[in-house]
Structure 1
Amino acid sequence: MEYLSRIVKLVGGMNQFQFHPRCKEVKLTHMCFADDLIMCYKGDFISMYLMLQSFKLFSQSSGLQANIQKSSLYCCGVSDSDVQRIAAIFGFPRHFPPFRFLGVPICSKRLTSSQCDALVDKMTCRIKIWRSRHLSYMARVQLINFVLMSLHMYWAQVFILPKKVLRDIVQVCRSFLWSGQSFSWNLRSVAWSKLCCGKNFGGLGFKDVFLWNIAHMGKYLWVVANKQENSWIKWVNSVYLKNASWWEYSPKANSSWYWKKVCHVKDILKQHYSLTDMCVMPSYSVKAVYNKLASDSVPVHWDFFSGRGWVRLNTNSSAGWPSRGV
């Protein structure tokens, strides 16, 4: 892939080649990961021809060929005649966003709850497999913490998930905990917000999916604040920031929905961190930021086991008496 990158870079230096309007300043022509490749250019025939010729040279040298059935052409602001001409010559079928890359949907507009159905479906499919087993409450707790929540974490570090999707995730996990099913109308014994506290705060250690999503997205704020050298930072600076002060920056009205959400996360974290705090972090810790966001709980103390269950002693009780727990 390094050889392909060098070839495409040479194509980007030709006078006939035209960059994508939002990639011109950083001279971004392609992004590759494993066996996936995304090529970006202005939607004209000459640029498309030069880009495909570079890939043809790479194929002749390495023996690697593009899979036509798994390749797609995405166009915006290009006339239908030009699209048909390009598709007819090069054989790539035209598709429309959103498309999936590394298991998550990629779209140019607002992420909808229907595009995240695959996440909720994966959780319900896992529960259907477990449903035939006689699982105790503690077994369900472990499965929620280490299996169901891990599926959510992968999406949470990429997107600002819609609130409806996060509520569906909570509903699935809550139903599985109390009934062993992915959906149930039964009344819950304890509020889910209580269970999302750590065990030293009287909960079961579940992650609050709303705060966990914010903590994961805070990594992008940390990367921008530290001005790391990568393609995304260069692109953000050229399109949005334009050397403005990041901590005081406000998105414009014509900014993308996703960028506005990232800036909204910045406003939330500004209540707990300053720009100096972000810059002095040697590495970003999602767990530390999450604990900072969820630091309003009152510690409790589990002291002994009685015949009817655990007795929870809350030394911070206003009445001065211990409170009993299940």
Structure 2
Amino acid sequence: MEVFESVLTTFRKNRHYKFHPFCEEEKITHLCLADDLFLLSHAYVDSINTIKDALIFFCNITCLMSNVDKSLAFYGGADEDTNAQIQSIMGISEGSFSVHYLGILLTERHIQFVHYRPLIEKVKNAIMGWDVKKLSYAGMIELVGSVVMGLIVYWSQQIILPKKVMRELDTLLRDFI
């Protein structure tokens, strides 16, 4: 991905490119998660052409290309004409929010408490499964430390967990132990 980052940075600096409004300060053009790539920009046709040209150049030097059948474009607040232009340039169909990616909700809006329910339910189900077993105090601590905290850490690496969610999780764990 370092090669792609270098190609995209070069194209961005030498052509017309507008950052996504929330990415401009840090100059974020893309996110690479697992084996997926998120390209971020303002819904500006010249920016999309710059990204398309960078992808073509990257394909020519590495023989790696994106699969347009598995790719989606997400628009936040762009008008229909711009969306249509971007789709014709990239050849990628339009996706719709909300999307779950690796178990985490991706949305264009602020995440509400209800969106954290899957995490709370996973923790609750894990605890309920262990509750029927006769576990020692040390065994309970070990399970909480390894399994439950692993879930919480995974989620907190992706998004900030609100205090309300953390309090509910603490209550569940305190009641279990």
The two structures have a TM-score, normalised by structure 1, of: 0.46
- Contact 2:131–2:176 (Cα < 8 Å) also in 1: no
Aligned partner of 1:104 in structure 2 is: 104
Instruction: Return the letter of the residue paired with 2:167.
Output: R
Q: How far apart, CA to CA, are the structure 1 residues paired with 2:138 and 2:15? A: 65
Give the helix-richer structure, 1 or 2: 2
Which entry has the higher C-alpha Rg, 1 or 2?
A: 1
Inter-CA distance 139–31: structure 2 relative to 1 (3 Å threshold): closer
Q: How far apart, CA to CA, are the structure 1 residues paired with 2:124 and 2:142? A: 16
Aligned partner of 1:76 in structure 2 is: 76
TM-superposition CA deviations, 1:56-101 (whole Å, max 9, x none): 2222332323233543212223111221332255332323445455
Instruction: Return the letter of the residue paired with 2:13.
Output: G
Inter-CA distance 59–126: structure 2 relative to 1 (3 Å threshold): farther
Cα offset, 1:119, TM superposition: 1.4
- Contact 1:112–1:162 (Cα < 8 Å) also in 2: no
Cα offset, 1:151, TM superposition: 2.0
TM-superposition CA deviations, 1:138-157 (whole Å, max 9, x none): 42233223321332233345
Give yes or no for the alignment of 1:144 onto 2:144: yes
Cα offset, 1:107, TM superposition: 4.3
User: Where does structure 1 lack aligned partners over 5 or more consecutive residues?
Assistant: 178-326
Q: How far apart, CA to CA, are the structure 2 residues paired with 1:19 and 1:157? A: 24
Aligned residues: 177
Give yes or no for the alignment of 1:166 onto 2:156: no
- Contact 1:12–1:27 (Cα < 8 Å) also in 2: no
Instruction: Return the letter of the residue paired with 1:161.
Output: L
Inter-CA distance 25–125: structure 2 relative to 1 (3 Å threshold): closer
Cα offset, 1:25, TM superposition: 5.6
Aligned partner of 1:135 in structure 2 is: 135
TM-superposition CA deviations, 1:229-277 (whole Å, max 9, x none): xxxxxxxxxxxxxxxxxxxxxxxxxxxxxxxxxxxxxxxxxxxxxxxxx
Equivalent position SS for 1:7: helix
- Contact 1:99–1:107 (Cα < 8 Å) also in 2: yes
Inter-CA distance 51–111: structure 2 relative to 1 (3 Å threshold): same
Instruction: Return the letter of the residue paired with 1:148.
Output: V
Q: How far apart, CA to CA, are the structure 2 residues paired with 1:171 and 1:21? A: 38
Aligned partner of 2:29 in structure 1 is: 29
The two structures have a TM-score, normalised by structure 2, of: 0.76
Q: How far apart, CA to CA, are the structure 2 residues paired with 1:14 and 1:134? A: 65
Q: How far apart, CA to CA, are the structure 1 residues paired with 2:34 and 2:149? A: 26
Aligned partner of 1:39 in structure 2 is: 39
Quote the RMSD (CA, aligned, Å).
Answer: 3.0
- Contact 1:19–1:42 (Cα < 8 Å) also in 2: yes
Equivalent position SS for 1:13: helix
Cα offset, 1:8, TM superposition: 0.9
Instruction: Return the letter of the residue paired with 1:144.
Output: V
